Structure 1
Amino acid sequence: MPSTLTEATDPFCLRPGESAALLRGHPWRRFVVLGDSVAEGLCEPVAGYPEVQWADRIAAELRAAGPGLAYLNLGRRGLRAHEVRATQLDAALAFAPDLALVVCGGNDAFRASYDPDAVDAQMTAMVTAMRTAGADVITVGMFDVSHSPAVPAALRAGLGERMRLLSARTGRLAGRLGALHVHLTDHPAVADPSLYSSDGRHGSARSDAIAAAETVRRLGAHLAASRRAPQGP
């Protein structure tokens, strides 16, 4: 991508008025976020992109379309999936959300000992609890950080395989449990170095802008489908 690219000219970011059109009349009033550093937001600065992490961006877009939205971000860096469930699920439920973003498993997948079944079990418990409480739930197939130039070449293949497995399994889990899934792993920009931070583990302000755009578009598609669905008697 050109070095002069900014959020206003980035073809993958939200266009003026797009979010308002997609989210107009949305029903959500209480938005909670559970997860690790991706949820907390550790976006590295990129010239031309505001330093606003993606969950905060989503909350801002929802609030613009529905003033009065309550927002709670419980995300904390370094947590594995079982730690997210143990330390955040009760607080998330106590918040009584009608929309929840659950994003974790990346810290598990960074390890060669990654256990997909164990992560699935934790994700299933959290998504099921949120759905049972009446919330719509968003899950995410994250950008494949193995494309980051900061990841040592010898580690890229194994990390990429695990990240893609995590993404695929999270997508299947979301479909099974009725969650809204945002698939970023095969995004057209996934191999662009500007998406990744210099630590080889996190994203940049550009990746957060793109992730927020894709999440808003997924929410908009859900709202459009709900409006088209036949109404009961």
Structure 2
Amino acid sequence: MQTNPTYSSLVAVGDSFTEGMSDVLPDGSYRGWADLLAARMAAHTPGFRYANLAVRGKLIRQIVDEQVPLASAMEPDVITLVGGLNDTLRPKCDMGRVRALLEEAVERLAPSCNQLVLMRSPGRNGPVLERFRPRMEELFTCIDDLAARHGALVVDLYGAASLSDPRMWHVDRLHLTSEGHQRVAEAVWQSLGYDPQDADWHAPIPPTPPPGWIARRTADVRFARQHLLPWIGRRLTGRSSGDGLPAKRPDLLPWERPDA
């Protein structure tokens, strides 16, 4: 891996994590770690180009069918691929199929870029993670194996103490806060060989007094009403939060700030 390399283009592939939920800008749109990373890379390399094909709610089959061919055809310097976690969170999940589709994605993307980046997705501490942890860790073992065989980088967000802290997660308990996305951008930035801007991005967050019992129960009720019940409803009806939504940034174009 180079030190302070000169990458001229980036294509991000994936689901809501890569789209940037819930790092909300003033206009209501999402920024996220991939935009933050692109901005840094653009400041380092004039003429830098960026595309973000991610759409919230996408399963690995949809990513392979809808995003992988587009990303491959763009032939950028760097492709980031994060997918499969939505599959592991479904009540019924064929992990053999997920592994096969992820392998298909990597085999198609690795030859079409100078550097493919894979990730061990972050996991919030709590009962939900414990329920799905075996599937997640099976997915991460597959990612490690694919990276070793295809020369991809693996960014270990799952092993970062800071990103398992509930304070780094939005009230929906599924997506990172703005600070969480900043730490992910830093992790990928360093993995690509750039000088650290935050060498301790993965370090545990200093403790704060825990919320009281009433505050926790109020938060639980709000979470169930605003996020959990709608999520269950979509699962039961076969709908996705990303149905009908276009890619975030479908064309590989010179980087411009979202507020430019």
TM-score class, shorter-chain normalisation, is 0.7 to 0.9
Opposite residue 28 of structure 1, the aligned amino acid is: Y
Unpaired runs of 5+ residues, structure 1, are 1-21, 46-50, 223-233
Give the 5 Å matches for 1:3-14.
Answer: none
1:1-233 map, 5 Å: 24=4, 26-44=5-23, 52-145=31-124, 147=125, 153=127, 155-220=128-193
Q: Which amino acid aligns with 2:39?
A: A
Distance verdict in 2 for CA 1:121–1:109, change over 3 Å: same
**Alpha-carbon distance in 2 for matches of 1:172, 1:190:** 23
* 3-state SS, counterpart of residue 98 of structure 2: helix
Provide the rounded CA distance (Å) in 2 between the counterparts of 1:64 and 1:188. 29
Contact 2:14-2:58 at 8 Å conserved across structures: yes
**Residue 161 (structure 1) shift:** 2.7
- Number of residues of Structure 1 aligned to a counterpart in Structure 2: 190
Stretch deviating more after TM superposition (163-172 or 98-107):
163-172
Q: Compared with structure 1, are the counterparts of its residues 81 and 71 closer, same or farther at alpha carbon in structure 2 (3 Å cutoff)?
A: same
Contact residue 167 and residue 183 of structure 1 kept, 8 A = no
2: CA distance, partners of 1:61 / 1:42: 19
Structure 1 distance, partners of 2:106, 2:114, is 9
Cα deviation, 1:58-102, whole Å, max 9, x if unaligned, reads: 111111111111100000001000100101112112222121000
Q: Which amino acid aligns with 2:152?
A: A
- 1:135 to partner: Cα distance: 3.1
Shift of 1:23: 6.1
Aligned alpha-carbon RMSD (Å): 2.3
Q: Shift of the alpha carbon at 1:191?
A: 3.0
Identity, in percent, stands at: 27
DSSP 3-state at the match of 1:186: coil
> 1:56: Cα distance to partner?
0.5
Structure 2 gap segments, 5+ residues each = 25-29, 196-260
Amino acid in structure 1 at the alignment position of 2:64: R
After TM superposition, the score normalised by the length of structure 2 is 0.67
How far apart in 2 are the matches of 1:129 and 1:89? Answer: 7
